Structure 1
Amino acid sequence: MEVLWAADGPQTAREVQEALADRDLATTTVLTVLGRLERKQLVTRTRDGRAHHYQPVASREDHVAELMRDALDAAPDRGAALARFLGSIPDDERAALRDLLG
């Protein structure tokens, strides 16, 4: 996902593999992971000639926000979970949240 989020546009499996060259991944491995991401509806795939191009369904920020909502939904006491979260972040981030809410 990091490679797709950092890209300027849709990427082929080969382009994703090249971006991950330091990991020495087989093309089949990259295709398997991209296929799983597509089944989880995190990426979309479009055909262009013989190649498929992959792109994220949502931005990184939207994805993180969804994960945060999921975590809150799993908490039996949302208020307590939010209070613990706010107590765990630095003062400048708490101030930024206050500004956003204000």
Structure 2
Amino acid sequence: MDGDRKSEGSGRRARGELESGVLAALYGADQPRTARQVRDELPGDLAYTTVLTILSRLYDKGMLVRHRAGRGYAYAPARDEATHTAERMRSLLEHGADREAVLTRFVSELSEEDEQLLQRLLSGHDGPHPAGRADEGP
């Protein structure tokens, strides 16, 4: 079995899934969180040391900052969630073999509202529009 994949019925989670859960817990927090606080916000019965390992890996990758909190650390995201997600999207796009095909598929699967928002952003009109329509002028 691949150690980074969850096998049916094994209860193990992929490392990426754990990292995503830890990041989500930190993005949802209004202040830095200790490993114990993060563990308490995650589903399941994760070991404290597992959460601490994930936090350390994310810190080593530059995705988290940490501050002394007693004998340990409290962690917070280094960047806001929107910046993190945009960086991941850009990285995926850069590693794709056919950039045009990826962008075409991405746009074709957007909701009408998201497509209008994207059109507004690309045209440089990022403010609200009357009646929510992107094709209307100021």
- % identical equivalent positions: 42
Cα distance in 1 for partners of 2:106, 2:50 equals 36
The equivalent of 1:5 in structure 2 is 27
TM-score, normalised with respect to structure 1: 0.89
SS of residue in 2 equivalent to 1:47? strand
Of 69-78 and 23-32, deviating more is 69-78
Structure 2: which 5+ residue stretches go unaligned? 1-22, 124-138
The Cα shift of 1:54 comes to 0.5
The correspondence of residues 4-83 of structure 1 with structure 2, limited to 5 A, is 4-20=26-42, 22-83=43-104
> What is the alpha-carbon root mean square deviation over aligned residues?
1.4
- Greater Cα radius of gyration, structure 1 or 2: 2
Q: Which structure shows the bigger proportion of residues in helix conformation?
A: 1
The Cα shift of 1:34 comes to 0.7
* Alignment check: 8 A CA contact 2:34 2:69 kept: no
The structure whose RCO (Cα within 8 Å, separation 6+) is larger is: 1
Match of 2:109 among 85, 88, 97: 88
SS of residue in 2 equivalent to 1:99? helix
